[in-house]
């Protein structure tokens, strides 16, 4: 049963076993507007918690996707190169960015669960 | 909106906010020796008439480019600029406007940028070109930075045939960015083997064609070497008119092209403002510096123009931008575009042929002078000669005799043992009589 965790910078990580799928939240995609370009990291790159993993460009801004926890990149969503708009259409599904192999599952404890993130959104909006 | 300059209270307030004692502290990064630490040595006041008289007197001491036989080049070329170029760029819509920031505003300006980009891409045989950079040297430095971003490597190999000012600019940028620039010694005869130096650490090789000494270089083999090692080829030119005859860099496999566009539509302007041309392969589009204008359609399907891919730029991407330059040399680029449009394809080729023919005639005449040796096997409109004597002294003496007879290599490359070398350029503005005067002046100098 996968569990989803959230960061204050609006990334999510959906963890199943040792792997986590990382993307941006629906709130984040709405704030960015139409995503026109996504730059993804090379497979095998090891990233420590908070490091920049990907770059998103929308029609009005450029932003970074940081990894919520440390890990090694095992897969990237190469479909985004052709159709970056999927990030807007389905951020928590087909619009994922990368999969990492977690190096320290204990780091997840510092993140928000879905309820906490929903509360957090109320405080920022 | 009223514009009021700062008063001393505002200044004190600003200094307190940024926690700096005085204004001088803000200039700490400028070497002490380069700072002005005294008042300018100027009279306290003079009347307008006095100033005019004084300055006209000073100006009369100059030997003006247009008033004598002129063979100076070395990166800045005197070409004929048709009167209608200046007339058109002085329309107020063009003359006073700044580079656009709102994506769709000022369609006229955007269209001129789009046409300019199209011309630069066509001229260099590259996929995409930007809206222009400051000049050829900064365009070259930006090309090196771009190669570093693409390859994630930090060593640029810089040809000894690159214009020394360009080399210095590359060195300055690279130094500030923490990159290495391996600069080769002056390469008078274009014999350096750049390909052999390319390794797995190399981000790019920077090479100029025609090079600083006037030699033409076939870059195809070097491009293949670079490709095999995962490095990029940055091709540079200082004389845009050469592209009317010389194989364009894109056709020789260049990945990025940086060049000076002054030759087309722009006068010498005492060294600036000039216009940097910048072009690249389409796959590197997102790593390009500078402004880009694209063609699109509006809601009614009508053709229009828009600034595009602005998320590369500093005003949106802040510190992660591809460059801290987010402007273009708009007016100089427009002059380039208008002149090139007036010339057309056939006109540019013809202009280039005239330049080459004039330079060939000059080389032939100079080669016949005792004590003069033409060093180039190939050249476009500029070449290097070796004279029996100091070229810098010869240039001064020729100027006294009313001929601006080229540039001594030592002026740009001092202390390299190149004191006898002189760069001579001959464009379409030189007449046969001019060339005869040059030969005569040089002969006079060599006799004494």
Query: Residues B183-221: pLDDT tens digits?
Result: 999 999 999 999 999 999 999 999 999 999 999 999 999
Mutate to test the interface with A, among B306, B307, B311 (most CBs of A within 10 A): B311
Decide: B383 and B375 in contact? Cβ < 8 Å: yes
Q: Where are the domains of chain B?
A: 69-79+345-447, 83-339
pLDDT beneath 50: ranges in chain A: none
Are the Cβ atoms of B316 and A61 closer than 8 angstroms?
yes
Are the Cβ atoms of B316 and A37 closer than 8 angstroms?
no
Was domain B83-339 assigned CATH 3.40.640.10? yes
Quick one: average pLDDT of B371-388?
97
- Residue A92 within any structural domain of the chain: yes
Range of the domain at A84: 3-106+113-120
Quick one: average pLDDT of B315-323?
82
pLDDT at position B1: 57
For residue A21, what is the domain's CATH number? 2.40.50.100
Three-state SS across chain A?
A: CCEEEECCCCEEEEEECCEEEEEECHHHHHHHCCEEEEECCCCCCEECCCCEEEEEEECCCEEEEECCCCEEEEEECCHHHHCCCHHHHCCCCCCCCEEEEECCHHHHHHCECHHHHHHHHHHHC
- C-alpha distance from A113 to closest chain B C-alpha (Å): 30
- Residue A18 within any structural domain of the chain: yes
- Interchain CB contacts (distance < 8 Å): A and B: 15
Compute, in degrees rounded to 10, the torsion defined by CA atoms B337, B338, B339, B345.
70
Distances (CA, A) of A102 to A13, B215, B371: 11, 57, 76
Q: What is the ipTM of this complex?
A: 0.73
- Residue A47 within any structural domain of the chain: yes
- Residue A90 within any structural domain of the chain: yes
Mean pLDDT of chain A: 93
- Residue A65 within any structural domain of the chain: yes
- Into how many domains does chain A fold? 1
pLDDT at position B316: 79
Are the Cβ atoms of B320 and A55 closer than 8 angstroms?
yes
Greatest CA separation for chain A: 37
Sign of CA dihedral B401, B402, B403, B409: positive
pLDDT tens digits for B226-281?
999 999 999 999 999 999 999 999 999 999 999 999 999 999 999 999 999 999 99
Are the Cβ atoms of A62 and B286 closer than 8 angstroms?
no
Q: Which residues of B touch A62 (CB under 8 A)?
A: 311, 316-317, 320
CA B67 – CA B399 distance, rounded (Å): 11
Q: Domain B69-79+345-447, what fold?
A: 3.90.1150
């Amino acid at each position: 049963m996968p569990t989803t965790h959230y960061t204050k910078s609006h990334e999510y990580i959906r963890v199943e076993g040792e792997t986590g799928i990382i993307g941006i939240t629906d709130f984040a995609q709405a704030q960015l507007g139409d995503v026109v370009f996504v730059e993804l990291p090379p497979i095998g790159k090891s990233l420590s918690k908070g490091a920049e993993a990907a770059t998103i460009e929308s029609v009005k801004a450029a932003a970074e996707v940081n990894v919520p926890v440390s890990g090694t990149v095992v897969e990237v969503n190469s479909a985004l190169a052709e159709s970056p708009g999927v990030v807007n259409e389905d951020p928590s599904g087909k619009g994922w960015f990368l999969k990492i192999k977690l190096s320290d599952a204990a780091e997840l404890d510092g993140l928000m669960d879905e309820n906490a993130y929903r509360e957090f959104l109320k405080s920022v909006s | 909106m009223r514009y009021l300059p700062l008063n001393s209270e505002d200044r004190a307030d600003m200094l307190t906010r940024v926690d700096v004692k005085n204004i001088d502290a803000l200039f700490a990064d400028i070497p002490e020796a380069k700072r002005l630490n005294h008042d300018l040595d100027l009279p306290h006041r003079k009347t307008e008439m006095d100033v005019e008289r004084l300055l006209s007197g000073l100006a009369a001491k100059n030997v003006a480019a247009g008033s004598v036989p002129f063979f100076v080049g070395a990166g800045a070329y005197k070409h004929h600029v048709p009167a209608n170029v200046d007339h058109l760029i002085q329309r107020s819509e063009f003359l006073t406007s700044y580079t656009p920031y709102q994506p769709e505003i000022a369609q006229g300006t955007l269209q001129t940028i789009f046409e300019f980009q199209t011309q630069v891409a066509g001229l260099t045989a590259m996929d995409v070109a930007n809206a222009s950079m400051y000049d050829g040297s900064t365009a070259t430095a930006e090309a090196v930075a771009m190669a570093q971003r693409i390859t994630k490597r930090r060593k640029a190999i810089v040809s000894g045939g690159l214009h020394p000012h360009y080399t210095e600019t590359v060195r300055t940028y690279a130094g500030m960015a923490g990159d290495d620039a391996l600069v080769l010694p002056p390469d008078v005869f274009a014999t350096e083997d750049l390909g052999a130096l390319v390794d797995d650490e190399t981000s790019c090789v920077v090479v100029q064609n025609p090079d600083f000494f006037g030699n033409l270089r076939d870059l195809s083999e070097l491009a293949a070497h670079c490709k095999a090692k995962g490095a990029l080829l940055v091709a540079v030119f200082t004389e845009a008119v050469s592209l009317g005859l010389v194989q364009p860099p894109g056709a020789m496999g260049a990945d990025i092209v940086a060049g000076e566009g002054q030759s087309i539509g722009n006068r010498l302007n005492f060294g600036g403002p000039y216009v940097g041309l910048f072009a690249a392969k389409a796959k590197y589009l997102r790593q390009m510096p500078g402004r880009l204008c694209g063609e699109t359609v509006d809601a009614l399907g009508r053709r229009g123009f828009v600034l595009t891919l602005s998320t590369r730029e500093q005003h949106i991407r802040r510190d992660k931008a591809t460059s801290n330059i987010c402007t273009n040399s708009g007016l100089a680029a427009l002059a380039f575009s208008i002149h090139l449009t007036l010339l057309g394809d056939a006109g540019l080729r013809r202009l280039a042929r005239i330049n080459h023919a004039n330079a060939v005639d000059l080389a032939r005449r100079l080669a016949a002078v005792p004590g003069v040796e033409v060093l180039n096997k190939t050249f476009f409109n500029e070449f290097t000669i070796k004279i029996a004597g100091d070229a810098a002294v010869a240039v001064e003496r020729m100027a006294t005799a009313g001929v601006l007879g080229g540039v001594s290599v030592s002026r740009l490359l001092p202390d390299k043992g190149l004191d006898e070398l002189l760069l001579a350029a001959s464009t379409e503005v030189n007449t046969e009589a001019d060339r005869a005067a040059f030969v005569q002046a040089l002969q006079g100098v060599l006799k004494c």
